[in-house]
Amino acid sequence: MRLAVAVLLAALPAITVAAEPAAAPGFARLQLGAYTVVALSDGTFTMPAAQLLIEDRPGIVKTLLGRAGYGNTVPGAVNAFLIDTGDKRVLIDAGGGALLGSGLGQVPAQLRAAGYAPEQIDEIWLTHLHPDHVGGLVHDGQAVYPKAIVRTEDRELAFWLDKTANQPKVDDSVKGAFDGAAASLAPYRASGRVQTFKPGATLLPGMRAVDLAGHTAGHTAYRVTSRGQTLLVWGDTVHVGAVQFADPKVTIHFDSTPAQAEAARARIFAEAAKNGEWIAAAHIAFPGLGHVRRDGDAYAWQPLAP
């Protein structure tokens, strides 16, 4: 994820996001009731957290980074998640593909390593249309998942496919996301395989969309329940865990509406800590599976035990 990363960090030319070796293996399984959840690593990178995060109190970002043993950068991850119900195979997010350089784009290989072929994917649910979530839908302009229906929240699709009206509304760091979204969805739209849904929609039995608008216009989590066990796939609720669990008010330049993103994060943290559900996170160290717990007046991440 180098700064051929101009798609995502167009306004931050001084930042170099260097690729790191992928974790091995790059897939992990979690049994959720009758369902199998497979975490898939799309790759890793170094995030310039001190430049990207927007603090609510002067100096809090560097303080929290230092407390966690980091300087201005932190290790970053991009994760996608497969939900295998036995009848349906649903991929949630698709990784960055070729949009963000050679450090990412590993989801299809990890999917195969886990025993699945792209042709077996029935549906792809997108948390939002930023490049690191949609770029993996295509390779050389062709659909990577030839049979899959792609689903996204209706406000999200409308926003990112209207570059003329909406590009002036977003931070410079994500202005390139409009072109990435259009190109990534193009072959699926051409074959009539892009569908939208309303906030809160039930997409399959026991699988419901959760409105987390703020990071983007239609940022969506997916709550999956089977035999009394629940997993929330929460997209970009957290970008830098070392900071945002301790101070959920810290936002990031990528947020379309920072105050709304902050409120959504506070709500989801409180819910997750209270009900103890599993969390699947796009940008927490692979496999990105764990729980949120209270830590005094703040929160902490409890990862899946190895």
Contacts of 11 (CB under 8 A, 6+ apart): 171, 172, 173, 175
With a cut of 60, say whether residue 18 has pLDDT above it: no
Which pLDDT tens digit goes with each residue over 60-80? 999 999 999 999 999 999 999
Q: What pLDDT is recorded for position 23? A: 41
CATH number at residue 34: 3.60.15.10
With a cut of 90, say whether residue 8 has pLDDT above it: no
**Phi and psi (nearest 5°) for 157?**
-65, -45
Question: Structural domain tally of the chain?
Answer: 1
With a cut of 70, say whether residue 197 has pLDDT above it: yes
With a cut of 60, say whether residue 246 has pLDDT above it: yes
If DSSP states are collapsed to H, E and C, what string results for 234-299?
A: CCCCCCCHHHHCCCCCCEECCCCCHHHHHHHHHHHHHHHHHHCCEEECCCCCCCCEEEEEEECCEE
DSSP string, 13-78: TT----EEPPPSS-EEEEEETTEEEEEEEEEEEEE-HHHHEE-SSTTHHHHHHHHTT-SS-EEEEE
| Average pLDDT score over residue span 166-192 | 97
Confidence of residue 24 (pLDDT cuts 50, 70, 90): low
What is the average pLDDT score of the chain? 92
| Average pLDDT score over residue span 293-303 | 96
Distance between CA 235 and CA 212 in Å, rounded? 9
Confidence of residue 271 (pLDDT cuts 50, 70, 90): very high
With a cut of 90, say whether residue 135 has pLDDT above it: yes
Which pLDDT tens digit goes with each residue over 94-115? 999 999 888 899 999 999 999 9
Residue-number span of the structural domain to which 243 is assigned: 5-303
Prediction pTM value? 0.92
| Average pLDDT score over residue span 193-213 | 97
